[in-house]
Structure 1
Amino acid sequence: MRVHQYVYFSLRSDYIPADEIAARLGTEADEIRVKASRRENPPAPRCHAWNVVCRDGGLTVDEQIDRVIDRLQPLTDQIAALAREIDASEGECRAATLQVVRYFNDDDGEEENPQPDGTDLVRLPGQHQLLGWHLDRRVLEFLHHTGAELDVDEYGY
């Protein structure tokens, strides 16, 4: 089995464009979405988004999450304030989300490594090194403080 995965933290708004979110937080996004830039009616994407992303290969989901949170940790209070403002004024969906995306049996994914690096151990088939992950207290506190949701999308081919 091949696994392709990435993680991103997103601040979304119907009215505040990504460049304004960046200006208010004092940092640029890795990726942005512009509301209705692909299609006007119905709008696609349906909202503006400011995203900080980790697509680094060879890392477990929790390691990718750690890299994103490490970058965002100094901005926790600003992110929390902006997310509360957006949630209070727009209210349709949560402004802040930590997103995990995984594709199983993806041609572009990482192959299963039957022998863990630096050991004599051999994994049983189906014990892909990228499977399994957890959220530590630091990540949970960040999500709680910023009011962010956790959304996990997993796709199989």
Structure 2
Amino acid sequence: MISQYVYFALSSNRMPAAEITARLGIEPDEIAVRGSRLANPARPASHRWKITCRKPGLTVDEQINQVVSRLFDHAERIGELAAELDAIDGGPAASMLQVVRVFEHPDGEEEDLTGPVEGLEKLPGQHQLLGWHVDARVLDFLRLARAELDVDEYAYG
């Protein structure tokens, strides 16, 4: 069973998500406030503005495409703000496209073994959510938005 989601985030130690929203004119799906759970050391470690896709049944590349489609027309402006955030925070990585996958998650999607695919028999261990790719449009978005791609994969438990 696999549980997965994708998000694009802008993060800053100094600029709160509300200011990022005002600067971009795009409402986030989620935000994090630096130090809202723990002040010393600050957790979360930074303010974070996020656009997410948690829709089940989609492959990672379909989830990525949903997020990128929402933001592509704003990619250059996002990149300019990311460069500014990197400068005020003193380092790279303000802009990030994040993939999170958890294998053997009890709430994840079960492997679909019904019927052949393109005339080929399905065998156990070939989960329909395994495998994904990043197309040229997504690569253009990452470049314009000055974004890194980070993939975290975990085993449940």
Q: Which structure 2 residue ranges, 5 or more long, are not aligned?
A: none
Deviates more, 1:77-86 or 1:112-121: 112-121
Give the whole-Å Cα distance in 2 for the aligned partners of 1:49 and 1:116: 43
> How many corresponding residue pairs?
156
Q: Which of structure 1's runs of 4+ aligned residues deviate more than 2 A?
A: 115-122
Distance 1:31 1:121, change over 3 A: same
Superposition CA RMSD, Å: 1.4
| Percent of matched pairs sharing the same residue | 55
Deviates more, 1:127-136 or 1:108-117: 108-117
What SS does structure 2 have at the residue aligned with 1:155? strand
Q: Which structure 1 residue ranges, 5 or more long, are not aligned?
A: none
Residues 100-157 of structure 1, C-alpha deviation per residue, up to 9 Å, x if partnerless? 0000000000000013688664311110000000000000111111111111000013
What SS does structure 2 have at the residue aligned with 1:23? helix
Give the whole-Å Cα distance in 1 for the aligned partners of 2:97 and 2:105: 22
Deviates more, 1:114-123 or 1:146-155: 114-123
- 1:115, 1:121 within 8 Å by CA — same for their partners in 2? no
Distance 1:155 1:44, change over 3 A: same
- 2:116, 2:122 within 8 Å by CA — same for their partners in 1? no
Matched to 1:21, the amino acid is I
Give the whole-Å Cα distance in 2 for the aligned partners of 1:116 and 1:132: 19
Give the whole-Å Cα distance in 2 for the aligned partners of 1:3 and 1:131: 9
What SS does structure 2 have at the residue aligned with 1:82? helix
TM superposition score normalised by structure 1: 0.95
